[in-house]
Amino acid sequence: MKTLKQVTLLKNENNRIDIQCEHQWKLHIFVLEQDIFRVAFTQNDTFRVPQTWAITPNQPDVQWQGRDRWCLDGYSLPTYEVCEKNGEVEITTDHLKLIVHQPLWLEWQYKCGQNWKTFSQDRKTGAYLLGISNNQVSHFVQRSVTDNYYGLGEKAGDLNRKGRRFEMRNLDAMGYNAEFTDPLYKHIPFYITHTEDVSYGLYYDNLASCWFRLGSEIDNYHAYYRSYQAEDGDLDYYMILGPQILDVTKKYTQLTGGTIFGPKWSLGYSGSTMSYTDAPDAQQQLKKFVDLCEQYDIPCDSFQLSSGYTSIGAKRYVFNWNYDKVPTPKEITAHFHQAGMKLAANIKPCLLHDHPKYQEVAKQGLFIKDSQSDNPEISVFWDDEGSHLDFTNPNTIDWWKTNVKQQLLEYGIDSTWNDNNEFEVWDNHAKCHFFGQGLPIKLIRPLQPLLMMKASYEAQKEYAPNLRPYLISRSGSPGMNRYVQTWSGDNRTNWNTLRYNIRMGLGMSLSGLYNIGHDVGGFSGNKPDPELFVRWVQNGVMHPRFTIHSWNDDKTVNEPWMYPQVTDIIRSTIQLRYRLMPYIYNLLWKAHTENEPMLRPTFLDHPQDLRTFEETDDYLFGQDLLVASVVEEGQRKRNVYLPDNQVGWYDFYTHQWFKGKQDVQVDAPLERIPLFVKAGTILPLAGLGHKNTLTDNHRELFILPFINQGVSHITLFDDDGVSFDYQNNHHLLLNIELKCTSYTIELTINRHGDFIPQYQTLSFVLPHSEKRKLIVNGKTVDTLVLQDLII
């Protein structure tokens, strides 16, 4: 490792500034936006990995071969100034200034009034260490003891990462401890620094295994620092200025391609368990689930078909149907479809050595290859050994897409569940095809699951071009948000997991993974007791993804009706999810169109309230709904801190109004999760009693007015829930102005789009104690016919 010190300005053109350092290293500064710069190092003008798959500014996707790292397409490329002063280089836009010091360290400043103020700077005693023989790269940044750190995707423990050390190395962490286990499934080398003045993000565009030390390390020879270290690859990072945490998250999410707009049914309850498809009578078990949902009046939109449907003996073989367990796959998919439920099938990217198609695939050269030969690499996988498919080989991509279509979609399967895709190939120099260029696996391991998702996505899109694909993936890297919904992997059943999964989910959300959830009830360990199961379901319905999934050690199955004494509570909780479905679907649309996180730490919308930065079990589901989960056994009352939002909060159930910036004690009986709604909000609600999202034929607008005076603007979206037709005006968009005076509550509603929903009227609901007159579009009404709205 060598510390770079020398700085010589070479060239400034096309929004790129080149600076010569020693040992043939060059520093490149890219001025991408007024508030986003990129810093990259090359040796002999060459990147270790010449492409990126994460970055796609203002473009829908990245080509299979990746985006050339020199490419600047999609950025606004603002005007900027470059000047040299006393051997230092200054680069300035309207919002951001970078000073390249001599010897080499970078100082970042933002515009504060008429002055520039430093908000971040590298460690002065060695900022950049780059490998000469071992290819390691390191970046050291000066650390203030008052700074806080958020992000890094799916990480255990508290939401604030301060004082801890984390590793990015995708692992199948079965039964992990949600408070302490590290690393986990995903590779998200992005985090946000929140200072007393401003917030900013650092994204390191490198797919090699890496470590973040965020205050866990001190050294007598240096001031306080934090660091990023990767075992290989490029030192190539993005500085994203907020100024608020929310701004950083939204800008980063847009930079990496935004959030896929899945079908509405993907937000409904999705059943799942390993037990059904592992059973010898899997087809009957699956049919029984449909029948029991009907019997117990449990709304359900889909079921996730675990990998037992592919088994031969006790092992799993992707794209292989076990016809002894599932004699007639098309019959079982039809049975689910008749009940209004979709099916997602589990698929894995590794073929065991005795897979029926192994020799065929090996002969075609579709596997990652051993470092010492041209034979397929061999890795441990599912209690045996096998070889991983190489998704950097176009022939592998074609083979995969063909099998997704022929072995799944043509059988009536609706969605792909991309699982066990951590690519634990620990022969670091195993050879990937890399589109004909060749590259060792250690440089691009997380790229393999990303391209696996892309292949599955394209297969679904090609098979049904006008249906919005829905995919699930456990592992991944930046950019996976463009393709899939994800979850926090194989969690362990206990109260501690329930608490820390909340924080894990919020960390993912701050890191651009908006459409997420957890295995409700816990995946591994013994079954949850009735109380824990109820509290987990209550929390689960308040996440974008809601799936009850299990592989319990005691051979039991987590099902809504598993405990007769609480089945009524489980049913009403899931029905609450469906009542809120119009609101949740609107959140997904806003995530897709406006890069708005669906799960939000309370500080995201109330950064002026310092209490919201304390670790808490509370969070916002969207900007308007405060969720106060119960995560302690036996708790029947709990304190809730209501953030300072200037307008107050309503209890969702009692409609009582509370002033913000205070603690309130609320009842938390077993049958209810405490919820609060921000004043000045309109919640779109469905009716009660429908079986799934397809049968939603009622719409209420629950108006939570300002307690005195105030004005707010709300946009509500709806469409057919499955197609791309919304892009061609086939949607329903309601732009609503809510205006409250001392005597009236006035709504002005304008309609756009030509979509005609199943519901034809809007019913208006006010808090129980509200006495002011409701006026809608100039008239006093209780119900409004949609056709009466302006088109």
| Residues whose CB is less than 8 angstroms from the CB of residue 636 and which lie 6 or more positions away in sequence, other chains included | 667, 668, 669, 670
Is residue 401 pLDDT above 80, yes or no?
yes
Distance between first and last Cα of the chain: 65
Looking at residue 256, its amino acid is T
Residue that has been written with the tokens 């030969």 in this structure: 373
Mean pLDDT across the stretch 109-132? 95
Q: Which of 321, 323, 338, 344 is nearest to 287 (CA)?
A: 338
d(C-alpha 140, C-alpha 225), whole Å: 6
Give domain status of residue 538, yes or no.
no
Looking at residue 80, its amino acid is Y
| Percent above pLDDT 90 for the chain | 96
Instruction: Indicate whether 204 and 309 sit together in one domain.
Output: no
Task: Round the average pLDDT of the chain to a whole number and report it.
Answer: 97
Instruction: Please enumerate, as own/partner, the contacts of 753-757 that have beta carbons within 8 Å and a separation of 24 or more.
Output: 753/719, 753/726, 753/729, 754/729, 754/730, 754/791, 755/718, 755/719, 755/720, 755/725, 755/726, 755/730, 755/731, 756/732, 756/786, 757/699, 757/718, 757/732, 757/786
Mean pLDDT across the stretch 612-630? 98
d(C-alpha 773, C-alpha 783), whole Å: 14
pLDDT score for 295: 97
- CB count within 10 Å of CB 783 equals 11
Instruction: Indicate whether 191 and 251 sit together in one domain.
Output: yes
Backbone phi and psi for residue 211, each to the nearest 5 degrees, phi listed first:
-135, 140
Instruction: Indicate whether 328 and 223 sit together in one domain.
Output: no
Helix ranges, 304-347 (H): 329-338
Mean pLDDT across the stretch 439-445? 98
Confidence of residue 790 (pLDDT cuts 50, 70, 90): low
The alpha carbon of residue 159 and the mean position of all alpha carbons in its chain are separated, in whole angstroms, by: 15
d(C-alpha 131, C-alpha 231), whole Å: 9
Report the run of H or E that residue 33 belongs to, with start and end.
Answer: strand 25-33
Which among 463, 487, 511 is the end of a domain? 487
Instruction: Indicate whether 213 and 344 sit together in one domain.
Output: no
pLDDT score for 2: 87
Instruction: Indicate whether 245 and 375 sit together in one domain.
Output: no
Q: What is the CATH number of the domain that holds 110?
A: 2.60.40.1760
- Higher-confidence residue of 788 and 682: namely 682
Q: Which of 431, 414, 483 is nearest to 452 (CA)?
A: 483
- Higher-confidence residue of 475 and 132: namely 475
pLDDT score for 791: 46
Instruction: Indicate whether 189 and 310 sit together in one domain.
Output: no
| Residues whose CB is less than 8 angstroms from the CB of residue 523 and which lie 6 or more positions away in sequence, other chains included | 175, 489, 490, 491, 492, 493, 549, 550, 551
> Would you state the structure tokens that stand for residue 787, as one six-digit string?
């056709």
> Would you state the structure tokens that stand for residue 770, as one six-digit string?
């509200």
Instruction: Indicate whether 135 and 243 sit together in one domain.
Output: yes
Output the CA–CA distances (angstroms, integers) from residue 754 to 249, 693, 728, in the order listed.
33, 20, 9
Output the CA–CA distances (angstroms, integers) from residue 208 to 185, 196, 251, 447, 474, in the order listed.
14, 32, 24, 10, 18
Q: Which residues pair with 649 in a beta bridge?
A: 658, 678
Residue that has been written with the tokens 């007791």 in this structure: 529
Instruction: Indicate whether 249 and 326 sit together in one domain.
Output: no
Is residue 391 pLDDT above 60, yes or no?
yes
pLDDT score for 90: 97
Instruction: Indicate whether 343 and 469 sit together in one domain.
Output: yes
Q: Tens digit of pLDDT for each residue in 130-184?
A: 987 789 999 999 999 999 999 999 999 999 999 999 999 999 999 999 999 999 9
Give domain status of residue 521, yes or no.
no
Q: Which of 329, 336, 335, 348 is nearest to 302 (CA)?
A: 336
Give domain status of residue 529, yes or no.
no
d(C-alpha 420, C-alpha 347), whole Å: 8
Looking at residue 254, its amino acid is Q
Report the run of H or E that residue 25 belongs to, with start and end.
Answer: strand 25-33
Greatest Cα pair distance in the chain: 81
Q: Which residues pair with 697 in a beta bridge?
A: none
d(C-alpha 421, C-alpha 454), whole Å: 13
33 close to 242: Cβ distance less than 8 angstroms: no
Q: What is the CATH number of the domain that holds 349?
A: 3.20.20.80
The 3-state DSSP class for residue 550 equals: coil
Instruction: Give Rg (Cα) of the chain.
Output: 27
Q: Which of 261, 247, 128, 157 is nearest to 194 (CA)?
A: 247
Q: Tens digit of pLDDT for each residue in 139-154?
A: 999 999 999 999 999 9
Length of the chain: 791
Q: Tens digit of pLDDT for each residue in 627-686?
A: 999 999 999 999 999 999 999 999 999 999 999 999 999 999 999 999 999 999 999 999
Paired sense of beta strands 625-628 and 637-642, if any: unpaired
Give domain status of residue 656, yes or no.
no
Q: Which of 273, 274, 344, 266 is nearest to 300 (CA)?
A: 266
Instruction: Indicate whether 407 and 325 sit together in one domain.
Output: yes
- CB count within 10 Å of CB 588 equals 25
638 close to 628: Cβ distance less than 8 angstroms: yes
- DSSP string over 159-182: S--TT-EEEE-----TTB-TTT--
> Would you state the structure tokens that stand for residue 104, as one six-digit string?
């080499």
Is residue 234 pLDDT above 70, yes or no?
yes
Give domain status of residue 23, yes or no.
yes
Mean pLDDT across the stretch 520-546? 97
Is residue 489 pLDDT above 50, yes or no?
yes
Which among 217, 239, 255 is the end of a domain? 255
| Residues whose CB is less than 8 angstroms from the CB of residue 346 and which lie 6 or more positions away in sequence, other chains included | 304, 305, 306, 307, 309, 310, 417, 419
Mean pLDDT across the stretch 365-384? 96
Give domain status of residue 523, yes or no.
no
d(C-alpha 74, C-alpha 77), whole Å: 9
Give domain status of residue 153, yes or no.
yes
Which among 462, 487, 512 is the end of a domain? 487
d(C-alpha 120, C-alpha 117), whole Å: 9
Looking at residue 743, its amino acid is Y
Burial 465-483 (b: 16+ CB within 10 A, else e): eeebbbbbbbbbbbbbbbb
Mean pLDDT across the stretch 562-583? 98
d(C-alpha 283, C-alpha 292), whole Å: 14
Instruction: Indicate whether 313 and 237 sit together in one domain.
Output: no
Number of domains in the chain: 3
Output the CA–CA distances (angstroms, integers) from residue 74 to 34, 81, 93, 201, 769, in the order listed.
14, 21, 18, 20, 52
- DSSP string over 652-712: TTT--EE-SSEEEEEE--TT---EEEETTEEEEEE-SS-SSGGG---EEEEEE--SSSEEE
Give domain status of residue 127, yes or no.
yes
Q: What is the CATH number of the domain that holds 725?
A: 2.60.40.1180
Mean pLDDT across the stretch 256-263? 98
The 3-state DSSP class for residue 388 equals: strand
- DSSP string over 720-744: -SSBSGGGGT-SEEEEEEEEE-SSE
pTM of the predicted structure, to 2 decimals:
0.98
CB-hemisphere CA count at 13 Å for 626? 29
| Residues whose CB is less than 8 angstroms from the CB of residue 92 and which lie 6 or more positions away in sequence, other chains included | 80, 81, 82, 98
**Domain span including residue 19:** 2-255
Q: Which of 192, 201, 187, 176 is nearest to 154 (CA)?
A: 187
d(C-alpha 683, C-alpha 624), whole Å: 8
Instruction: Indicate whether 251 and 313 sit together in one domain.
Output: no
pLDDT score for 132: 75
